[in-house]
Structure 1
Amino acid sequence: MTEECRSLKPLENDAYQVVTEVVTHKINHIPIYKGDFASLSPKVQRFIAEKAELMNPSGIYICDGSQKEFDTIVDKLVERGVLTPLKAYENCYLCRTDPRDVARVESKTWMVTKDKYDSVCHTPEGVRPIMGQWMSEEQFGKELDNRFPGCMAGRPMYVVPFSMGPIGGPLSKIGIELTDSSYVVLCMKIMTRMGAKVLEALGDQDFVRCIHSVGLPRPVRQKVINHWPCNPEKVMIAHRPKEREIWSFGSGYGGNSLLGKKCFALRIACNIGYDEGWLAEHMLIMGITNPEGKERFVAAAFPSACGKTNLAMLTPTVPGWKIRVVGDDIAWMKFGEDGRLYAINPEAGFFGVAPGTSHKTNAMAMETFQKNSIFTNVAETADGEYFWEGLEKELRQQKGWSEEQLHNLEITNWLGDRWHVGDEGKAAHPNSRFTCPASQCPIIHPDWEAPQGVPIDAIIFGGRRPEGVPLVFESFSWQHGILVGALVKSEATAAAEHVGKQVMHDPMAMRPFMGYNYGRYLQHWLDLGKAPHKAPKIFHVNWFRETSDHKFLWPGFGDNIRNDIAVETAIGYVPKRGSINLEGLPRLDWNELMSIPKSYWEEDIDESKHFLESQVGSDLPSEIQQELDNLEKRIHAL
């Protein structure tokens, strides 16, 4: 591994002068396009200089996070054809990617540790771990040397200082991303607190090091599709948790290139949380206020594209209830001095799946991205409006169109081709996205940026389960709730490269984002929930249960605010018949919605045991094994 690829060691104060001389030598042949390099801390200078020498950019651009900077980059990208203004809205833009670069690439995402079992569990021989992939330090060095030397030639290297969480907050963390993608700069501006204020808060402290390149140095010797440089054949997203470092190569897509998101806020952050005694989770955070004015905060975990954003911005159908969103995707949670669990949303924006989003499913999201937003791989109408699957009915109602008028609507699909409703293929890619400021959400909670976070009263797990699992049940205890979370399953979605309708295990909705040994992760949850901590209640929900003819039993997201009187069952507490207000709902089969079929659950528990034995093995905490045994006994006694 080259010297510039190695981890940066902490600097002693008396070494600053020597480092400054070395940095000056390494940086003096590379122009500074923007910013004052000399004003940066020695640690930041060293980081930039060593990576610049490695990747050989045309120059260095230190981002200040200003609106002027944002607008300047936007103007250049519009001029080059990378962004297209959506003229129907204020400061909204469309970006189309290379069709080979449209989703997270989990199969090329790695954790790099000296000890393999710091990253993955002791699985039986021949079993491939699904809770993360390990790469040896030696192999990692070879992979870096095969990609990063000279990879930014002909492109500027943007220095993006950013804070996950409110700047200076007690649970917030700072990162610096080096990238050769101006699209990444724009999205990081929306998704994080980014710029000069972050550098001021950083001072001489350490930070998470994020290195990203599209992997296509100039002169380019291959065709660039949609003005979107990438290198799909050599994609790699690697994390070094001990060094607090992320290396991403070859992909410009959000989940692979916006390194503050899944890479930092989940994979690296859950390692930091393990060391410091807190949790980094793939969870929304929302406040629910009842008709009496009592507000409770809930954190909820769902696999990607299973409705987290829709639930976070729920519009209740039951009068008197109110929802306010704190975060739609990631929660950092820590027990406070009063013993309660507090959570912050480390992000500053929403990066949501567009198809299926409408005023019916998520009116608040629709209102949030009406301005100052970037849309990726959606379709565009001739009138300069966005379009994707799920908006057809809305267009007919809003514009009073007939079916013929809708079918005659001129649309440019995500591939840049002319398209009409009813044509083959999709107008928008199934994983197309909107990126918008969270502050624009009409129901953003006034405390969404409170540095100390909001107190969590309940944790919810859920997934797409077409059969067998009731609408909602409550776990018997914190330990039982962790088992419930560990056994989350869901139908695969377009957010990852998986295809087809297969039901996959997604424990705690963290399968693609696990940053260390999953058995130790479960033990970490167990330990944090013990006295004197006051652990919140844990629930499981499933509003994707279907009838035999594949129709949803539960009508919709707006109906997820109902009452909570429950009865004990083998799997947990479920609502009593008559305890949920069903007024105004279409007729539904309550018995089927809440049923716990013995044969289904016997089969499910056998499969779950096999999953834990094969994927966690000897790393499974004894308390979780006991909860599993107890669950099996209760199911057999049905």
Structure 2
Amino acid sequence: MSKYTNLLKSKMTDKSFAKLEALKNDKVMDFVGSFAEHCNPKTIYVCDDSKEDEEYIKAAALKNGEEHPMANSEQTIHWDGYGDQARDKVNTRYMVYPENLDKMKAMNSLPYDEAKEEIMGIAKNIMAGKEAYVKFFTEGPAESPFTIPCIQFTDSSYVTHSESILYRPGYKHFLNNPGSEDFFRFIHSAGELDERGCTKNLDKRRIYMDTQNNIVYSMNDQYAGNSIGLKKHAMRLSISKAGQEGWLCEHMFLMACLGKGGRKTYFAGAYPSACGKTATAMIPGEQIVGDDIVYFRNIDGEFRGVNVEQGIFGIIKDVNAEDDPVIFENAMINQEVIFSNILQGPDKKPYWLGQGVEPPKSGLNHIGEWTEGMKDDKGNVVPVAHPNSRYTMRLDYLANFDKEGFEAKDGVKISGILYGGRDSDTSVPVEESATWKEGILLKACTLESETTAATLGAEGVRAASPMANMDFVSYPLGEYTLNNIKFGESVKDCPKIYSTNYFMRGPKGEFMTSKLAKKVWLHWAEGRFYGEYEALDTPSGKIPKYEDLQALFDEFLPNEGFNKEKYTYLFTFRCTKLIEKLERTKKFFASKDSNVPAELNKFWDDTIAKYKAVREKYGDEIKPGDFKG
């Protein structure tokens, strides 16, 4: 009998307590009991994997005013407060034991005891008067080598509902593994709410990560990036766990490229924001397994991966019938979708920025009652919807969903990994790395996203984003990089690594190819895996031959036109610009890691010296085929 038994019985129905007790897990009982005592909810509802409990949570979200009905009966809308519209990077911090403080000092961290005292002080009685929910999930497929069980304790029915869409149910997994202590724990409270049901005490918003004990504390927030424990919070725990255990957790999509003769070839890919990640995962004619987070493990010597999630929490801005038809169609039909921070018109239909639909002149959005042209208290015009408005839906709604790959307990065999940045004048559209190590150090570590004058007022500024994962790497960047290298080199059939860049501009500033050209680059990479295409050497890898790309354009984009002049411009090796890129990478690593491994800096220094020697011999710009090694 747990010391919390009487307390939990006083806050639960007999049915809820029986569900908890049936797990025969002291660590689960202590977690729920200790926070039931400390956060002091009025009642606690324990969920299993049943349809009945799913319906209970959905009804609670409407009853509590955390979600609101839409014109389509299966859809709901949720609003976060006006100041709770994005991830809170400042107050998302690591709780670090004294012996680890030195190596974590370049990260946003706090001494463990100080952080624990603060977060527990904020959490004291924070759920008073509310109903709380306990829900079990798994990251990755249940009962598989990839499984990470998770337990969420929250006073938000919206958070529970969202996670039920986004993650696989896990109660049965806990039931089948009594006494297991290896699981992630998440404690969350939206805190005191205003008349709209939004968090009031944003000055006390805190998201504290304890990667040493696999627990995350999230208080006084509702925006999903701060409140949904199983998403980026769990990702930070997983990255730390993977680093200790010798596997990988990466911020990647997972997709199937459908090639000749019905073959299915799996690619994963990492892209910083606005660099083409979702568009690549959703290339027409291919299949999607997942759009955001992938676990990789060495299974019998093979490099295999799974989608951690079962749903999509996506930005809905600019989702329209022309640019993103699959998502748009699914957002408009009557099926379970949670919209957040969009406009609900008088007709109770959803409206968002870039929808391609004329919005009404008034309605309800993240500020409350909204009318066209209104300003907030700082004098800023409030748009129809927030630019970071989101949709939450199940992946299996999508016609291009790869159910077979999604359900594979041992994951799918990964044949290629794409790393895509955004620059207008440096990187070629697609290039294959000579080795796994070179791919990590020259393609993954050097990822950058170039800003434009329209977005930040300074065109051409390049933001570094190694592995497109910087916000979530939870131990020193250099060590994380070495672990990536070691893992790939430990697998007997290692994937090929490719860099992509969809944003090269021509001499007059024009984009050189259409948005759909990414299908050509993908299929060239797929063909390379099967030895169907030869390649030309460059100082940093291998690029396609013109004849092969021309044939692929004729097959997939016959109306685009791809001539030799365009090919030569796109695939020219630009020595000085690539030297500068490596120098920026070295500088960025030094700013984020106080002890960058000497092995990394030596590799980059040697490569810079190599590029300089190549420049002396061939000139600053080397056209395709001119480099002879």
Please give the TM-score of this superposition, normalised by the length of structure 1.
0.84
Question: Are the aligned partners of 1:331 and 1:343 in contact in 2 as well (CA < 8 Å)?
Answer: yes
Amino acid at match of 2:343: A
How far apart are residue 325 of structure 1 and its match? Answer: 0.8
Distance in 1 separating the partners of 2:457 and 2:142: 39
How far apart are residue 418 of structure 1 and its match? Answer: 4.3
CA displacement 1:54-77 (0-9 Å, x = unmatched): 111111110124333333333343
Aligned to 2:30: 46
When residues 546 and 389 of structure 1 are mapped into structure 2, their CA distance, relative to the original with a 3 A threshold, is farther
Amino acid at match of 1:507: P
Q: 5+ residue gaps in structure 1? A: 1-19, 123-128, 316-321, 396-405
Aligned to 1:620: 597
Of 111, 115, 125, which residue of structure 2 is paired with 1:150?
125
When residues 230 and 189 of structure 1 are mapped into structure 2, their CA distance, relative to the original with a 3 A threshold, is farther
When residues 539 and 418 of structure 1 are mapped into structure 2, their CA distance, relative to the original with a 3 A threshold, is same
Of 504, 507, 512, which residue of structure 1 is paired with 2:466?
507
Question: How many residue pairs are counted as aligned between the two chains?
Answer: 580
Where 2:28 maps in the other structure, the secondary structure is: helix
CA displacement 1:384-432 (0-9 Å, x = unmatched): 432222222xx4xxxxxxxxxx477766554344456999653221111
Where 1:462 maps in the other structure, the secondary structure is: strand
Distance in 2 separating the partners of 1:340 and 1:65: 32
Of 77, 95, 105, which residue of structure 2 is paired with 1:94?
77
Distance in 1 separating the partners of 2:389 and 2:457: 15
When residues 473 and 119 of structure 1 are mapped into structure 2, their CA distance, relative to the original with a 3 A threshold, is farther
Of 572, 580, 583, which residue of structure 2 is paired with 1:603?
580
Aligned to 2:625: none
Q: Percent identity?
A: 26
Of 97, 101, 120, which residue of structure 2 is paired with 1:114?
97
Where 2:90 maps in the other structure, the secondary structure is: helix
- Greater shift, 230-239 or 174-183, is seen at 230-239
- Greater shift, 432-441 or 532-541, is seen at 532-541
When residues 407 and 532 of structure 1 are mapped into structure 2, their CA distance, relative to the original with a 3 A threshold, is closer
How far apart are residue 31 of structure 1 and its match? Answer: 4.2
Amino acid at match of 1:213: S
Amino acid at match of 2:466: P
> Is 1:291 the equivalent of 2:260?
yes
Q: How do 1:72-471 residues align onto structure 2 when only pairs under 5 Å count? A: 72-87=56-71, 89-115=72-98, 117=100, 120=103, 129=106, 132-194=107-169, 196-206=171-181, 207-216=183-192, 224=194, 226-264=196-234, 266-315=235-284, 322-337=285-300, 339-369=301-331, 370=333, 371-392=335-356, 395=357, 406=358, 412-419=364-371, 425-445=382-402, 446-471=404-429
Where 1:434 maps in the other structure, the secondary structure is: strand
Distance in 2 separating the partners of 1:229 and 1:386: 23
> Is 1:541 the equivalent of 2:500?
yes
- Greater shift, 524-533 or 586-595, is seen at 586-595
- Greater shift, 173-182 or 375-384, is seen at 375-384
Where 2:586 maps in the other structure, the secondary structure is: helix
Amino acid at match of 1:72: Y
Where 1:359 maps in the other structure, the secondary structure is: coil
Distance in 1 separating the partners of 2:290 and 2:69: 27
Distance in 2 separating the partners of 1:372 and 1:574: 44
Where 1:146 maps in the other structure, the secondary structure is: helix
Amino acid at match of 2:575: K
Where 1:159 maps in the other structure, the secondary structure is: strand
Distance in 1 separating the partners of 2:133 and 2:360: 44
How far apart are residue 550 of structure 1 and its match? Answer: 5.4
Where 1:442 maps in the other structure, the secondary structure is: coil
When residues 69 and 499 of structure 1 are mapped into structure 2, their CA distance, relative to the original with a 3 A threshold, is farther
Question: Are the aligned partners of 1:414 and 1:427 in contact in 2 as well (CA < 8 Å)?
Answer: no
Aligned to 2:529: none
Distance in 1 separating the partners of 2:451 and 2:220: 24
How far apart are residue 43 of structure 1 and its match? Answer: 2.1
Distance in 2 separating the partners of 1:466 and 1:519: 28
CA displacement 1:276-313 (0-9 Å, x = unmatched): 22111101000101133222100101124543222212
CA displacement 1:195-237 (0-9 Å, x = unmatched): 6424323421122111111132xxx6xxx16322253211221
Aligned to 1:400: none
Where 2:208 maps in the other structure, the secondary structure is: strand
Aligned to 2:4: 23
How far apart are residue 101 of structure 1 and its match? Answer: 0.8
Structural RMSD (CA): 2.9
CA displacement 1:588-630 (0-9 Å, x = unmatched): 84444334433322332322222233333533251x3343123
Question: Are the aligned partners of 2:218 and 2:226 in contact in 1 as well (CA < 8 Å)?
Answer: yes
Distance in 2 separating the partners of 1:532 and 1:311: 26
With a CA cutoff of 8 Å and minimum separation of 6, indicate the structure with the bigger relative contact order.
Answer: 1
When residues 366 and 260 of structure 1 are mapped into structure 2, their CA distance, relative to the original with a 3 A threshold, is same
Aligned to 2:560: 585
Distance in 1 separating the partners of 2:368 and 2:493: 53
Aligned to 2:621: none
Aligned to 2:527: none
Where 1:226 maps in the other structure, the secondary structure is: coil
When residues 80 and 351 of structure 1 are mapped into structure 2, their CA distance, relative to the original with a 3 A threshold, is same
Please give the TM-score of this superposition, normalised by the length of structure 2.
0.85
Distance in 2 separating the partners of 1:550 and 1:59: 61
When residues 586 and 236 of structure 1 are mapped into structure 2, their CA distance, relative to the original with a 3 A threshold, is farther
How far apart are residue 98 of structure 1 and its match? Answer: 0.4
Where 2:388 maps in the other structure, the secondary structure is: coil
- Greater shift, 379-388 or 27-36, is seen at 27-36
When residues 618 and 229 of structure 1 are mapped into structure 2, their CA distance, relative to the original with a 3 A threshold, is closer
Distance in 2 separating the partners of 1:194 and 1:246: 20
Distance in 1 separating the partners of 2:8 and 2:37: 7
Q: 5+ residue gaps in structure 2? A: 376-380, 525-532, 616-629
Question: Are the aligned partners of 2:119 and 2:206 in contact in 1 as well (CA < 8 Å)?
Answer: no
Distance in 2 separating the partners of 1:285 and 1:376: 25
Where 1:480 maps in the other structure, the secondary structure is: helix
Question: Are the aligned partners of 1:313 and 1:365 in contact in 2 as well (CA < 8 Å)?
Answer: no
